[in-house]
Amino acid sequence: MTHRRYRRFRILGMLLLTGVSAPASDARPMAARQVGRLTLHRCDTRAPWCGGLYRRLDPSGAVPGAISIYFEYYPHTAGGPAAGTLVATEGGPGYPATGSRSEYLALFGPLRPSHDVLIMDNRGTGRSAAVDCEPLQTAVALTEANIGSCGRSLGRTAPLYSTALAADDLAAIVEALSLGRIDLYGDSYGSYFAQVFALRHGEQLRSLVLDGAYPLDGPDYPWYPHYAPAMRDKFNRACERTPACQAVAGSSLEHIARALELLRAAPVSAEVRYGRGRSMRFTADASELAIVMFAGSPAYATVRELDAAARAFGDGDRLPLLRLMAETLASVDSRDPTRSPRQFSAGLAAAVFCQDPPQIFDMSLVPAQRLIARDVQIAKRQAESPDTYAPFTIDEYRGMPLDYAFIDECVRWPAAAPGAPAVPLVPAGARYPDVPVLVISGELDNMTSPADGAAAAARFARARHVVIANGFHVNALPHARSECGALLARRFIERLESGDESCASAVPAARLVPRFARQVGELTPARGLAGNAAGEDQLRAVTAVLLTCGDAIVRAEANGTGRGVGLRGGTFTVAQAPQGYRLILRDVLWTEDAGVSGRIDWPGRSGVVHADLNLRTAQGVRGNLQLQWPEGVSGARASVRGRLGSNAVVAEAPAP
């Protein structure tokens, strides 16, 4: 048997003493700045100052080598001394924090006149010697075998890419820069990192903000006990808050049940156009429905559309649900199109996940024994708690990608090599520090649920847990549905208290698609107002135009600028506008019989949408309509004016 070892991660050959500064390898030779005992240099990124701190790869010295930890430093913009230093750490794991610098700087923007900002790429990510495991980094799909191969290629260095040592790297940089106590913000996995940092270096913290948080451990932890209940709550609550969905008998999970039954009985071989016009082939089955419901990606589209798409699937209209599956499958892959480990390191992600959190099996077992132990544990779970991931069976749940189902991901990761360094996540006897902590959770987030956030908050004596109503995953960064999370985080950093939290309950509910329809005649007509001369069929066409707008806007929100395709035909382009996006539609078909062309100006999460659109239907309806509605407002209504044929249209309907 041929055994191949892939060892393409970068390690510096010369061991340098911890605490010696080194310029980042990519920095241009320009003006220098002394901060603490480190000399920083001008960056080749949008950051003003960059640096590197050489660190032993293995603090014990058992494994030789060193690694340069890259960081960016943003001095405060006003005169006088800094009021403190803000530090942001990224989710993933596997993403470099500097890759999200624009989002972190936007969050910290109002504080930057008085505060410095530090952003560090964790060891094994970005410019801190990104781990590059092949074939894991470029393979079509994540597999147990490729994860195991990555672990074998890392060998004795595998434990040295832990969250613990990454937290120690940050502590060393903070100390070398003489920053004093920092205000640390972590989102998603960054909240996990931040808790490890707190336990290892609590004396360096002034405050902690955990956005999309989950604890380091807990009862039944390896089975992710809050994952499925939060997923079910997400869809049921969203439906309860939308009149059209609420009017359908039963809960949202009951609405979706028929589609699940059909997919179990007869999986569908699908080919679907999605995104910018690419085509995807896949088999739609119960596990593909599970990934749509569990992954929450694209977040708003899945909640907005799944209930109606599942009902349409049950009635024979498969396309809306199949498109949502394709969009989810495309978006859950964390790698960028180039598969660059600097953008996302699949190897680092595997190293962290397979070594830091508890698993359903004993990781000290060799993989052959671990496979047996895994099967024993799963059989026991199926017998004792078959509804762990309801409405899906445990096997259907396991059919999701490994990094979303979790429980099988590390079964082939090698046991620790003889003589490999042991790096405990938390030092023996460590206690959570007595520092102010703000935990922010999204009410509709099932990846890091409110229950997970509450468990994380409970570990700190001075923690405040805020749940953002109708919020999804991570709520203080610019992509969130409201500004509330950012406002609370900034106020907490300034005052060490969140203050008025009323905005957390004021975020409007998601606007769900009332139904998918193949023909305009299946839709509920818009409501005619004084001056309206359009008949019922024309008012149904008005509803089709509105729903076509909503469908295109949601795709623009998820995919950004570029090209998009309509559900049943046509194309649109998305360009950046001073606020939000401008969409140009070209004969976009949301139903099969109504083409919509023209312009939509979408302002983002707040402001007023304006659209000027032309309609043509297979039934001969032609005309021009001007539409507008407010974003970020509960119960928003759209107003419509224009002409269809010879008839004046003056109408209103729920905002799409």
DSSP state string for 286-335: HHHHHHHHHH--SHHHHHHHHHHHHHHHHTT--HHHHHHHHHHHHHS--S
pLDDT value, residue 5: 23
**Residue 323 covered by a domain:** no
Is 567 in the same domain as 484? no
Is 537 in the same domain as 646? yes
pLDDT value, residue 528: 97
pLDDT tens digits along 616-640: 999 999 999 999 999 999 999 999 9
pLDDT value, residue 8: 24
Is 97 in the same domain as 152? yes
Domain of residue 76: give its range. 21-220+425-505
Given 505, 529, 544, the domain boundary residue is 505
Cα–Cα distances (Å) from 615 to 556, 584, 593, 624, 647, in that order, read: 21, 14, 10, 6, 14
Find out whether 299 and 188 touch, Cβ atoms under 8 Å: no
pLDDT over threshold 80, residue 1:
no
Alpha-carbon distance 410 to 412, whole Å? 5
Is 488 in the same domain as 633? no
pLDDT tens digits along 522-551: 999 999 999 999 999 999 999 999 999 999
Beta bridge partners of 620: none
Between helix 252-265 and helix 299-314 the angle, nearest 10°, is 60
pLDDT tens digits along 374-396: 999 999 999 999 999 999 999 99
Other CB atoms closer than 10 Å to residue 180's CB: what's the count? 12
pLDDT over threshold 90, residue 152:
yes
Q: 72: left (phi > 0), else alpha (psi -120 to 50), else beta?
A: beta
Is 136 in the same domain as 178? yes
For residue 41, name the pLDDT band (cuts at 50, 70, 90). Answer: very high
**Residue 386 covered by a domain:** no
**Residue 276 covered by a domain:** no
Given 474, 505, 536, the domain boundary residue is 505
Is 524 in the same domain as 590? yes
Task: Please give the backbone phi and psi of residue 232, each rounded to the nearest 5 degrees, phi first.
Answer: -65, -45
Of 420 and 90, the structure prediction assigns the larger pLDDT to 90
How many separate domains does the chain show?
2
Is 432 in the same domain as 545? no
Find out whether 324 and 309 touch, Cβ atoms under 8 Å: yes
Helix (H) / strand (E) containing 532: none
**Residue 628 covered by a domain:** yes
Beta bridge partners of 582: 575, 601
Is 37 in the same domain as 173? yes
pLDDT over threshold 70, residue 18:
no
**Which value, in Å, is the radius of gyration of the alpha carbons in the chain?**
26
pLDDT value, residue 30: 52
Chain-wide mean pLDDT for the chain? 93
- How are beta strands 581-589 and 562-565 bridged, if at all? unpaired
**Residue 454 covered by a domain:** yes
When pLDDT is averaged across residues 20-33 and rounded to a whole number, the result is: 53
Report the share of the chain in percent with pLDDT over 90: 91
When pLDDT is averaged across residues 220-225 and rounded to a whole number, the result is: 96
pLDDT tens digits along 234-251: 999 999 999 999 999 999
- The enclosing domain of 114 has a CATH number of 3.40.50.1820
pLDDT value, residue 26: 45
pLDDT value, residue 28: 44
- Cα–Cα nearest to 184, from 165, 207, 163, 158: 207
Is 563 in the same domain as 588? yes
Is 80 in the same domain as 159? yes
Task: Please give the backbone phi and psi of residue 223, each rounded to the nearest 5 degrees, phi first.
Answer: -95, 0
Q: What angle do CA 362, 368, 371 make, to 5 degrees?
A: 60
Is 500 in the same domain as 646? no
pLDDT value, residue 15: 27
Given 505, 540, 562, the domain boundary residue is 505
**Residue 333 covered by a domain:** no
**Residue 150 covered by a domain:** yes
Find out whether 438 and 463 touch, Cβ atoms under 8 Å: yes
pLDDT over threshold 70, residue 446:
yes
pLDDT over threshold 80, residue 172:
yes
Cα–Cα distances (Å) from 35 to 25, 39, 71, 109, 293, in that order, read: 18, 6, 13, 22, 48
For residue 21, name the pLDDT band (cuts at 50, 70, 90). Answer: very low
When pLDDT is averaged across residues 304-322 and rounded to a whole number, the result is: 98
DSSP string, 51-93: EEEEEESSTTSSS--EEEEEEEEE--SSSSS-SEEEEEE--TT
Structure tokens at 626: 């001007």
Is 196 in the same domain as 149? yes
Q: What share of the chain is helix, strand, coil (3-state, %, to 5)?
A: 35, 20, 45
For residue 494, name the pLDDT band (cuts at 50, 70, 90). Answer: very high
For residue 98, name the pLDDT band (cuts at 50, 70, 90). Answer: very high
Q: Kindly compute the dihedral angle of the four CA atoms of residues 605, 609, 614, 619, in this order, to the nearest 10 degrees.
A: 70
**Residue 143 covered by a domain:** yes
